[in-house]
Structure 1
């Protein structure tokens, strides 16, 4: 086969210039329900009792049950979908994937929080036939406190270059019944705020951590115990429903194969959620994760009749005695396949 040539798109510079730095706010707020937190914790196998019981959250210093470390992705899904439906409508939604995800937690998300979402399109860059779109976001609660700041990098193709066969497959097996499809007036609308930065987080006092491991017990290079999780197609179906990520490559062999995958694969954000559970099981306190970032580099294939195992490892990269925080490098594999290109967590220790 000859070398595939990249066709330059002169319009991408104009698109990037017009959108970079634009800030938007989702018109409606997101109300964090207690049962939603519990369902999400089960979906990502985060077993800490503070995700389920108020008394255990109170013991950590918080008035409501605590959402798992990656719960912000559920809230962010609403804003991302609105962005792709409107501002980035030229992109083909059947052919996009997520490559990087970062969460910085300034205050844990709690059941009962009313969160408003802001987003800034940070950059759009072309590599080959794909555009890499970086979106930063902030979630602000009812007390005007920034709870989480993060960024998402997605890779997408403009609609004119979409695979028509794949688009037909997706259309025929995709979940239906979204409000935007039946009544466009009820879609989550974005309010443009012009070229401006996100609301800045303020370092406010949060409850002290109650971790099992102590800061003074570690040195750089120390290893965390290995952790493992099982994933079945039932887990994928459950996560799709709870998270709102209903991409059919996670439940349909036909869609996966048309997309060039060997079989159904797990959501990248599901594997990141499992990694969050791995960390909090070791920490003993889900509020101890200050920053969590992952670059996705592989996928977990899930057979129709057998579970797949995902294994996690961790190593202390560095320690900061002033803040009593540790930087932890995480590894994730499934059947010898590396899942993360780079994953790093910054955690507070007692």
Structure 2
């Protein structure tokens, strides 16, 4: 990704390079420890199936954070993110194997404001399904 993006170099329609993030069960265990979210739907396959899920699912905030990396890596500065919001539309299902799941994230600049701010629409998919809806970031560029 670009280390530093300049406002003057970005136009509406600028596409951010697609990133593919692997999501495996050990990632969920580490995230649970860091976040304190030990809900069994994120680690216990039997429990997840009992509550109607197809398998263990990634934490929503984990998914959101991974998608946000697209923006912070593009700008080269996490402090450039002024606003970031998503709606969760589908879970990231994480099978218990060596492959796990993939989260595929891309973005496009949809608006350029006068104050060095740009609005980026983010697309996040896993197993062909859109997992985040209305996912946008407002970013201050140099």
Query: How far off is 1:255 after superposition?
Result: 1.1
Query: How far off is 1:259 after superposition?
Result: 1.1
What are the residue-to-residue correspondences of 1:129-144 with 2, within 5 Å?
A: none
3-state SS of paired residue (1:254): helix
Query: How far off is 1:341 after superposition?
Result: 1.6
Query: How far off is 1:336 after superposition?
Result: 0.4
TM-score (norm: length of structure 2)? 0.94
Instruction: Give 1:231's match in structure 2, choosing from 4, 17, 23.
Output: 23
| CA–CA distance in structure 1, aligned partners of residues 133 and 103 of structure 2 | 15
Matched, 1:278 2:31: no
- Report the structure number with the largest CA radius of gyration: 1
| CA–CA distance in structure 2, aligned partners of residues 254 and 272 of structure 1 | 25
Q: Which residue of 1 aligns with 2:36?
A: 244
How many residues are aligned here?
A: 139
Matched, 1:264 2:53: no
Write out the 4+ residue segments of structure 1 that deviate beyond 2 Å after TM superposition: none
Query: How far off is 1:319 after superposition?
Result: 0.6
What are the residue-to-residue correspondences of 1:307-318 with 2, within 5 Å?
A: 307-318=100-111
Q: Which residue of 2 aligns with 1:12?
A: none
Deviations 1:176-227 (A, max 9, x none): xxxxxxxxxxxxxxxxxxxxxxxxxxxxxxxxxxx61100111112211111
3-state SS of paired residue (1:266): coil
Query: How far off is 1:337 after superposition?
Result: 1.1
In structure 2, stretches of 5+ residues that fail to align are none
3-state SS of paired residue (2:26): helix
Deviations 1:128-174 (A, max 9, x none): xxxxxxxxxxxxxxxxxxxxxxxxxxxxxxxxxxxxxxxxxxxxxxx
